[in-house]
Structure 1
C-alpha cells in the first residue's frame, strides 16, 4: 500500500517592501488510502528536508489527516448572533476586503494575552463617535496635513500575507489555538497533525518516536510522530535541530524520531547563527535560513522551561541574495509559547511579523527586549516586567502594519472630489496604538517628506489630515496602477521609548462601493463600553452581501477575545452601537440577527459586544391576561396606561420572581413567561428566581379574570 509523499517547500510572496517567505506544503496523494482516520505521511529521509528551491504558482493539492475534527468555531458564534450567547468565534478566510484596523503586521494576528483581568487588558474607552466613510470635509479644519505621493508598491497580483490573516492560499490557518483539537483548517507547515493544545500538553516529557495512541493514522497503519504533535512547525523543528542538537543527532530524521520535551527543557539559549544561514562564502541562503524565515509559530517552545535567551535575527546579506531585500521579514507571528518561560532574561526577535507581545509580560528576570522591525502595536504588556527599563532595555522601532485592501469610491479621486459643500473625503476608523501605560499614541498621515530609506515604499498616495489624535481623513486619492494598490499610510512615534512604526492601508477605487465598519467592544456591568480591538473596515459593491464571518481580520479579533476569557454577548448592534440606545429602544441602535448584511449607499457601522463574567441586565415586566390563542392583553391603571415594572441590574443577581407578583382585585395570578425577542416566550412559572436569558429581557406576569359569585334574591 502506497503512502502519502510530502515535501515542504518555501514559496516567495512579494510584499509591500520586498519578498515575504511563506512555507508551503506540496502534497502528492497516492492510491490505496484506507478508510478511517488518516494523516499525511511525515518525511523521514534526508531528501525530504525543507527544500531551498522556490515553488511558483498556487499550493498543490493537500491531503490532510482525517479524524474527529472539532466543530468549526464559526458555527457556535454564528448561531449566537440570533440570541443564544456563544463562547467561541469562527475563523473565516480572507475576503480581500478587510481592512482598517489600528495595528498588526503582514502575517500576524494578535496572539492571545494570558491575563484576563479587564484592568490589565489594553482596552480603551469607546471614542466619541466620528462618522466614518465618505464625508464632506474642509481640509482647512484638519491638522498635521500631508500631501499624497505617486508611489504604489502593494501588489495586486501576488498573494500577500496581511496583518490578521494567518491562512495560506488554501485557507489553512497557522493560528493553532483557535480550535483545541484536530482541524484541517488550523495547521502549521509540516506534517499537519496538530491535535490541539491540550493533547500537546499531555504528551509525556520523555515521549519520542511514533505516537501509537494518536487518533490519526497513516495509510500504512502507522501514526504521527510525537514531535509533530507538540512542535508542529517543521521550520521550527529544523531550526532547533541545527541550532542546538546537531551533535546529538546526525540527521533531521534522527532528531525527529528521538527528540523529547525533556531534552528541550535543558536548553538555556537559542541563537540564530548567521554563518549557518549561508551555504558558502557568497552568502547564498541555506536550508537553515529558510527554516528560520518560514516558521510561523513557536508552539512547542513552552517546553524550554530553562530558556534564558532567545535570539532570532535573519542574516541581512543572505536576505539580499535571497530576496533582493536586506530588510526582509520572516513569517513568525505567534510567540504565545513564551508566556510561561519565566527565566527569560533576553529576547531578540528582529525582522519578523510578531504583533502581540502579551507573552512577554510578568517576567521578573527580563532585562532586554529587541523586537524592531515587527508589527507590534501595543507595548503595555512590558509594564509588568520589573527588571526591564523601557528606554535602555528595549528596541522597538520600525514596526510596520499591512492591512488587507479596501475598495473606495472613485468620487474620492483627485480632481473628482470637489463639491459645492466642500471636499469629499474618506474618514477611516480610529487607530489603536498603545504605549507602556496602555494610553493611545497619536497617529498622523505619512508622506516620507524626509526621504528616509527604510519607509521609502510606505508613503501615502492620498492627502491626509487628522480629525483627532487617532482618526484621519483622506482626500485627493491617487489611482493605483493595474498591478499595485494605492496606500493610506499612517505613522506613530512614542516620545518615551523607541516604539514607532507605520500602518499601511492598501486601497483600490471603483464606482458604487460602500463599506461596513466593525467594532469589537467590551460591555461592562454598568452598561459602559470599551474597545477591545481595532476597528475593521470591510468594503464592497453597493447591493452586495457581506458575511462578516468570512473576514479573516474580524474573525481573528473575535477569537482573541474568546481566548482572553471574554464571552460573546449575542449582541451585534448597528447605528451608534451603544447598549444604552438599544436597551432604551430609541431606534438609534438595532440588534442584528445575522452576520450577513447588504451594503447600501450609506456606510454602516456594527458593534460586536463581549462581556466578562457579568452583563448589564435590563428586565421589563408587564401584567396582563392571555386568551386561548395566546394573545396578551395588558392590565391597566385607572388612567388606562398598562401596569408595568422593571429591574435594572447585573446578570449575576438573584431576582425573586414572586417579588414582581402583584395583587389585582379583579384578577388571579396564574404564572409567568419570559422572552428576549418578544416573539418566543418560555414558561418560568416554576422558577424561584427570574432566569437570566439575555441582557434585555421581557417578563409577562399572566393573570385570569376573577370569577365573582352571583347573589340572587327571590321575591
Structure 2
C-alpha cells in the first residue's frame, strides 16, 4: 500500500505541473469573419487551470480504481476503458496505429509513447488539437474531451470519433475528408469547422440542429439545401469559395431562422439573387455576403443587333451597376440601367469572350439587413453572320434527280436540319451523315440517295377460252417504276387469240396479272373413204375438219349391193396437225346373201367444234345420175327374179 500511495503522490505532482500544457486550446471560429465572436485562448487556459485540481482528483481516483481492478473486475463502466477493448499491456500500435498521433498524444500528456494506455486518454478533458496525421483511430478513448481539432492531415474518415458524445466543438480542416457519413451522431456539436476539405455532399449535417457556428469554406459544395432546416440555433454560416450557384429555397431558411446573423457566400458562382425576398427578412439582424462571385455565363449569341440583356440579376427593386465591360477582341460595352441592357461595340469577329464586373448593395437604413452582391463574369459569344446556303438533293443511285432540291439558309454557327422527302415508288437508301450540321461560310450539300421499292409480283397466265391452264404461270419480280415485259408461250395445238393489253407495263406496289388466252389450231383434215376390197372407190370420200386435239367421228354409208366388210380402227379419233384417212371397206353382196346394213355409230359422240364438220348426208347418198342407174338395175333384177321363179315352177310341174 505504501508503494501505491507513493506512486499516487508522484502522479499528483506530475499532473499539477503538466495538466495545463497537456490540453491545447483551439480558437472556435475562423478569423475570416470579424462578426463571429472568438473564445479567448487565455480564458480557455484559465478555465483549464481552474479544472486542474479536479483533473488531479480524477487521476488519483483513476489510479485507485486501477489498483482495485487488479483484484476485482469493474462491470459497470459507463465510458470506454481499457477493459472494454483490451488489456493495458496491449501494444499501443494495435489501438492507435498512427505514429504521429501517438507522438502528439505523448507530448500532450508528457507520457512516453510506449507507456500510453487507453485509460490515459479516457481522462483527457477540454479540447484536443492534432495535425499531420492520417488515422484518428484511438481518439475514441478520449471520451471526456469536449473539443477536437484536426488540421493539415490526410484523414478521409471520421468514424473513430462518432462516439465522442461530449464534443461541442469540432474542427476538421485542410484534410482529404470527402464524406460526413456518421457525423449525425454528434448531436451536441455547437461549432463545426470543415474548411478546405474535399466535401461535396453535406446532407448528413441536416441532423445537427444544435449547431450555432458552421463553417464550410473552400470545398466543392453546390447544394446547400440540407442546411435549410438548421433554423433553431444557427448564428453564423460560412460557405465561401464553393461551387454554389443556385439559391433556390433560401427564402424559407432566412425567414424561419431564429438566431441567424451572418451568411458568408463569397467566392462562389452566383449570378442571380433575385429569388431572395428582401421583405421577408427586413426584421432580421442579418448580413448576407455574396461578394466576389466568379461567374462563367452561358455562351451568348448576337444576331444582327449588338444589344444584350443584362445577365446578372440582383434583388428585385434594387440597382445594379456593371463596369469594366470589355472583350478579348477590343470589344467595349456600356450598360444602360434604364432598360437593363448592354450595348457592345466593335463586334467585328464572329466569336470571342466578354468580361465585366458588377456590384449591387442592398441595405436598409431602418433595419439591420445588409446584402453585398458583386463579382466578375466571363462570357463567350458568337456573332451570327449569314451562312452560305446548304443544298439538299434527292437523287437515285444513278444520280438522277427525283425531287426538287431544297435550299437551307441560316447564320454561321447555328445548326441546320435537313429531312428526307417521301417519293412515290422510292425508298431512302440511307440517311446522309451530314443530314444535320452547322451552317458555315462554305457551301454544303446534303444528298439523299433513294432506291426503288420492291414491287408486287406480276403473274403471267396461259389459258384457254374457258380459263383452263394450258402451261405453268410465270412470275415476274422487279422494282416499282421499272418496266416489265411478258411473252407468249408456244403451246402445241394452240394458237394465241390476241396479245393482252398489259403484256408489257410497269411494276407497281399492287399485284398485277397478265393473261394470255389461246384457241386451238386448225387441224389437218380427216378423209373418210368408201371402197371395195380392191381399193376402188364406191362413193365419193368425205372430208372432216376441226381443231387440233378435238375428237372426230366418221360414219359408214349404205351402198346398194355392197355391205361393210369391217369397221375401221380409226373410225373415231382426235384431230391432229397431220392428215388422217379413215377407210370403210365394202364387199359385194351375192344374190342369195342377206344384206347386212352398215352399223351406225352413236351420233351423240359427234364433233364439237367452233367450226362444223362437212355435211355427212351428202356423202352417204348417191347423186342424181346414180339414182337413175340404180333404178334400172333394180327393174332388171326384179325381172330376172320373176323369170327364175317361173322356170323353177314349170320344172316342178313337168316332173310331176
Normalization by structure 1: what TM-score? 0.27
Name the structure with the higher strand share: 2
Name the structure with the higher helix share: 2
Q: Which has the higher contact order (CA 8 A, sep 6+)?
A: 1
Normalization by structure 2: what TM-score? 0.29
Between structure 1 and structure 2, the one with the greater Rg is 2
